A and B are shown apart, each in its own frame.
Chain A
Amino acid sequence: MNFVDVNIVLTFYKSSVTMCSVTEEGAVVFETLNQVEPLELKCRKCLIEDGNVVLQKKYVYCKTCFVPMVTHKFRATLGKSKLVNRGERVLVCVSGSQSSVSLLHMIWTGLQQSTYKRLTFDPVVLYIDESVLHNYPHDQKDKIKELFEKYGLTYRIVKFAAAVYSDNCLNEERYIDQYNDKLKNIFNSLSDLTLKEDMLMKLRKYAITKLAELLKCTRIMTAENEHKLSIRLLSNVALGRGSQTSLDIGLAVNNKNGDKTSLVTIRPMRNLSAKEISYYALFNNLDDFMHSNFLTATSEDESIQKTTERFVNDLQVDFPSTVSTIFRTGEKISEKTSAIAYCSLCQGIMDVNMSPSSAMEATKYSKYVSLMGIKALELSLKDVKNEEANQKNCTGCKCKKQDLKEEIIEGLCYACTHIIQNLESLDDLPKDILSKEKERLQFKRMEEQIKDFLL
């Protein structure tokens, strides 16, 4: 690893062009800097050592000063949140990416430090094994296990399908084949890559939340960096998830309002750039593992997420402040405080009570008007719904299924509706989601019955 010195500059993380296995962090392209403008050779911090890293094309750091600088940023983000208490159980999610192995390393280092700087929470390291969906080397799980053993922290390796479907996924793997099939069914019936990836993100989140509860953790730490979060913000906007931004990129997301004991997701790496993390991993000899999603090794023209990634990366070349500007814009966006309903699939804010003049209503009207043509003038939107409802009063089983789908969709946010509409069957969804929905409908019916008597 001695190929890093001053005249080698990590210029830009243009993803999936050179190495497809590291799409999430962006593959690293090394390029020799022409000695046009000689840079300072000494580290700007200690002024003694020769530099090893150049940040933002001008700041030179030596290895000894760089690592503490990065660690400090991580500790500052974590400390500022004031969200992790002494002895609290924290679920540390490791996907195998460079970011996540670095997060693990930083936490481990923090736990070893002398008393006044020591991290005092109680980490539980989690690896969700997604090998059923992606082709991983067969020894990957063992290697991850080896890594976790080396750190000597409490850890869990759970199969994705088990985490999604089983209530007892920590202890038994009895129906795993069945679960695997269910999971595969869901993704196979979504042909669109954009929706597939969106669904994967939501199910991952669902699994992590569930495991955190099972493992009695009250905090979750994930390793997304600035670059990744900016791309996520922009693709969220493109998917119609704008109102859920703070949930998906925020530093700390409380999943229930105000309650101190509720589950909070913390993203302590969010102020670090992909480049800083790459070098942190390099200097600490951290190996990352293959971690895929449905977009790995796909073309940029096949999914919204990948198109967004390319757009941000390209813009970053010409306008180096792109990522941080997007990221800071995202920080200023909050969820609606008046929100009362949450999506039963993604737990995001529901966009209820939209005014009649909104994109949502306009889209419905477009669909209606192009089916009704000139008749649209005589009938109003409501009449059509009634008519449809009357037609449906048959006993056919197919209608019933369709009805269930429509009822479920009512409990979903704008973007999740797109996913579920494309699913052939709802049978493979985790049963909590379905039962939550049934509960909601039950309450709705009760309310309907007694509404005239409620004061």
Chain B
Amino acid sequence: MYKSIFFLILFILQSNLFASEVNKHPEAKETLEADRQLGEVNIYSARKEALIKPLLDIFTEKTGIPVNLVTGDADELIQRLEAEGRNTPADLLLTVDVARLHRAKQNGLLQTVSSDILEQVVPDEYRDPEGYWYGLSLRSRVIVYAPDRVKPEELSSYGSYEGLAEPVWKGRLCVRSSSNPYNQSLVAAMMENDGKENTEKWARGLVSNFARSPKGGDRDQITAVAAGQCDVALVNTYYLAGMLHSSQEEERALAKKVRLFWPNQSGRGAHVNVSGAGVIKTAAHVTEAVKLLEFMVSAEAQAWYAEQNNEYPVRQGIRVSDTLSQWGDFKADTLNLGVLGKHNAEAINLMDRVGWK
């Protein structure tokens, strides 16, 4: 008696669950036939749904190409691609950190694509030399500081990545954990620019300047500067912009207490990372995937990124958001981003050795 009821419930629930999925995607039934005429793009995206879906909807509206999306952590998506092998439904991998694109390329998951539009629009340093991946938007890792506690001459003398390891910042610096990909990419860039030994020495100095053991995200570092726990912090640009535009008044008030400083402007320029994408090796919809990539670097999409998430466009001549233009132009490091991925594991080992938690 119990059991039959139990099975009945089970059956109903299950059929509901799966039925709802099929109904929602009537096209899924005829994928094979529909593929040829209509086409679709299947994306594995490390960019969160809220920051990509609206753009994909515009793409579908314009081209009639439906887009299917799974979001997740880049490394987990790469793992999934590897497990699924040549039968993976994915056509495109989208990440928010260049090291992960490099890893996907390294593990043989991507294919080269060439497109005049992509090659024209995306500057050399922001795409793979062979065309395995293309950068879609830029973010810089910069210094934020408390204007009431940091003297201008301190910034002019020690306002660089290297300078942050100097004793003048002892007990005044906040940075998030070394588990964070942005920090890993920054250290990888330092290894390429300054050499491995110097970077290790530098990281030791940096860690000895920490005001607290690393915790929280980039917004937390900004908050700590605003509240007085530290005087300077290393954060990505769009986090500060996001706080300035927050729907919460307290958060806006905190963000207004800090200022942005572009590091290394007299030298190689500020460290830059990209969000980008590459076409999967076994993709069934290469044409559609490339079309989507081309759309992502179109003026419209680039303006959307700049406006919605305060990222810097890869395309020249796009009007950035008011907040970004207020920070002015900056000199960016022209290091080809492919090398960041190469040094990623080494960077983590280095950070483990110097005690960067």
The finding on whether chains A and B are genuine partners in a shared complex, rather than unrelated, reads: no
Chain B interface residues toward A at CB < 8 A = none
